[in-house]
Amino acid sequence: MIKVAILAFDYALGTTITGVVDLLMFAGVTWNRINDLPVKHFFDVKIYSADGGMIHCVNGLTMMAHGSFNDIDKVDVVLVPTIAGNVDVTLAKNTAIIDTLQRIADNETLIASNCTGAFFLAEAGLLDHKAATTHWGFVNEFKRKYPAVKLQAEQLVSHDGNILCAGGGNAWFDLGLYLIERFCDHETAVGTAKAFVLDMGRSNQLTYSPILNKRYHNDELVLNVQDYMEKSFGQTISLERMAEQFNLSTRTLSRRFKQATGETPNHYLQTIRLEAARKLLEETSLSLPKITLRVGYEDVSSFSVLFKKNTGVTPGSYRDRYRRRY
């Protein structure tokens, strides 16, 4: 089970607590029941407060925590919900959240915030020199308070190392769907989105793709190579060309890339292309030959074989099963 801890506090936005709990707890459940498939439970989600007592949300909803911040030990994900009241007052009254974030911050734990919850992560020093996003209405205040953060306010969701930040409004469900895909698989995320009637088409600013898992490393050169591949996957890309562009030998590039990501550059590029193809099959009416060319392949037959080998179904079957219908 994937263990998730939500750091709740008084006057937090209720949906960013209860909505995330519902979304994660019913991943692999609701969609499976609708389609007479075996039910799978993936997430164990617990709500924590500073003292383990009641939480009073801004909408008047009161909920009981499962435990206190001190009870949090080893978890896979920590979520910080939206600050719905005055930011400075909320930060001052909830220093225990900042202490907890600093205590658990390591590369093994994925730390995420929704909307103005990013202020807590920044206050804890976890966003220094990292990309982040927050609610568009708080951009100026955020920049003033935390100039060391690489704020990307135009993004719906930002991802840098082990830190995730979702923007304002209902971006908590974009974050939740990403977590489902990150820890489960693409199909479970799509099924959950359909069961909850959520629009995965909002992913234009962050591709919900398992390839993001491979960014949990600190090799800046390899990160640059990954950026290059993710932007240029539709073009002809060879190992020799990449090595020349980044002033490395092919052997050195392959070694460093494998050491940082756990896979070869060619396999990583293939994964990017397949994920792009899946998105196009889900979200567009483009023909298979056009999709094949757009993601960097030329032969439709060979691409179809590759697609089925990696997904278990043909491109046509995948489109029939997962294409957005709402």
272-298 per-position pLDDT tens digit:
999 899 889 988 899 999 999 999 999
Task: Please tell me the CATH superfamily of domain 2-208, with its number.
Answer: Class I glutamine amidotransferase (GATase) domain (3.40.50.880)
Question: For tokens 């390839």, what's the residue?
Answer: 211
**226 contacts 269 by C-beta, under 8 angstroms:** no
Question: What pLDDT shows up at residue 214?
Answer: 61
Spatial separation of the C-alpha atoms in residues 142 and 16, rounded to whole Å? 20
Token digits for 326?
């709402």
**Confidence class of residue 203 from pLDDT cuts 50, 70 and 90?**
very low
Sign of CA dihedral 200, 204, 205, 211: positive
Burial pattern 50-71, b for ≥16 Cβ within 10 A else e, equals beeeebbbeeeeebebeeebee
- β-sheet bridge partners, residue 67: 48
**173 contacts 202 by C-beta, under 8 angstroms:** no
Spatial separation of the C-alpha atoms in residues 198 and 196, rounded to whole Å? 5
Going by the DSSP 8-state scheme, the letter that residue 116 receives in this structure is G
Domain regions of the chain by residue span: 2-208, 219-326
Tens-digit pLDDT profile for residues 32-52: 899 898 999 999 999 999 999
CATH fold of the domain at 219-326: Arc Repressor Mutant, subunit A (1.10.10)
